[in-house]
Structure 1
């Protein structure tokens, strides 16, 4: 499976999820015309700390995995066919705290990441240079900076955030819109190809009559007529995806 170096969005490797071995992906292997990550069969990302690699990825059967260079593998959650989430290790938590020396003094610029299980035991931990990623984040003046946050640079902040998102979705039953590697998306029980998808934001004129689903929770729908204003959801501006004729 192909993974990208988290803070660069490039340096793609091909990871064998069975053996843990990996190799660099040559440019010649990439699909012709591929310009951005979305054009590639990317399954996740990785980071390198003290020469060791840490990986997160989605398996072919819809499981989200965190893997260490030492071969520890944690299957965090399962994405069901309808897009809902089931936690596989419900009590597993990701904690990031400032690093400290043995005498209790703060280790400037470093953070401690721990995975903690149901009995409060640490099952995986490391110290890493978190200040480096903060500098990258604060120095980003590209257009992408308007929609990115620290998790787009810091692999472990992204991992911690993923735990929060997955736990919330599992508890609430919320079904978020996602597009699979084959270019299809499940929208309220219908499999739709990327080319069929029609989107619209709150306040825009409805481009197509029918049933529309809220992209942050596909359980929420609205029947709309072409030309009328796209609604909000619970007072929030959202994006909608066309689901089916009324």
Structure 2
């Protein structure tokens, strides 16, 4: 096991998305998720265009990433401040890209222990045995924090905050990406955490209106139902966050 920083994201409504769409739509929309992962890892860097296609350049990223069905994981190779900064930047961008434009999610950033096992063997009969497994107490912590939330958003756990406090301007750096907020949880309780802002630049009433409409659209697109009371609660909690923190952008 090794101690690292982990960003855990879980898509909401993913089962309904799979069941309510044809294969062509699923393949296209999953391609959008893969694109966003690569763009975030590239952090504004792109390869030379080829046949009119522009691809993110992830060759300089020091992060690891694993996407399994409705879960996306990013993690560092250690616990140095430079690695944490990259993880914060990538996770911040992935959070607002998905919630604002692509797919509703909830997430958590934590510090904890994990173990990665990866490999594939193919025999002479054409059968194969593949392992792509990430496990450990750090992953359990991130999963529990993410699953407990009753909105679309991402919490930065106190294990991350404690390390940022040890760095000069560490909290100041975080506050360019995150804000303290009373996060709604499934047990009808609210607890204050640092959470990612959804996007910089909400400075006018028209911009706010557009962001709120975009959030509801993302919850409902791909033939996902928003009629259930539980889904409406998540949408309203997400909108409340945007409205109540609009002056922090």
Shorter-chain TM-score: what band? Answer: under 0.3
Structure with larger Rg? 1
Q: TM-score, normalised by structure 2?
A: 0.23
Higher strand share: 1
Structure number with the bigger relative contact order (C-alpha 8 A, sep ≥ 6) is: 2
* TM-score for both structures, normalised by structure 1: 0.23
